Amino acid sequence: MKHISIAACLFVAACEGEPDGPIAYEDMDFAQRHAFMSEVVLPQMKEAFVRFDARFESMSCATCHGDGASDGSYAMPSPQIPRLPATEEAFFEYIEDPEHARWAQFMSDEVWPDMAELLGAPVYDPKTAPDGFSCSNCHMVEGQR
């Protein structure tokens, strides 16, 4: 993907001065994560979301991180974005709605793998990457507090 290579260049630039190259996202401090999210993740995700639905033209940190984005008090997964069904059965009922199915397809085809790649994390797989990046890194599930 050409976006990932641009993202990688921005990431390297954001981490300039590191003697051993770019820092893994999980090893970044808050300021480094903020810069990476602002300069790399937000522009790429905004582009994808706008392609999906033009109303995301005003996408900002608050779109995913909620009210706490402005002062850094947010938590992920975010209680301020749509919650997902808690069971596989409930999820399949959920995506019977065409709009929910459209969103699920977009998220699974674009957002999920792109975010995993940007963060340097494997995509969740119960057998090979049980701690990998998944929907639940951003979305809470029904009943979760």
What integer best gives the mean pLDDT of the chain? 88
**Better-scored residue on pLDDT, 22 or 90:** 90
Please report the pLDDT score of residue 145 as a whole number: 83
Cα distance between residue 63 and residue 15, in whole Å: 25
Cα distance between residue 70 and residue 59, in whole Å: 14
Cα distance between residue 48 and residue 50, in whole Å: 6
The model's pLDDT over 50-61, given as tens digits with 9 standing for 90+, comes to 999 999 999 999
Domain ranges of the chain: 2-137
The model's pLDDT over 107-125, given as tens digits with 9 standing for 90+, comes to 999 999 999 999 999 999 9
Q: pTM (2 decimals)?
A: 0.80
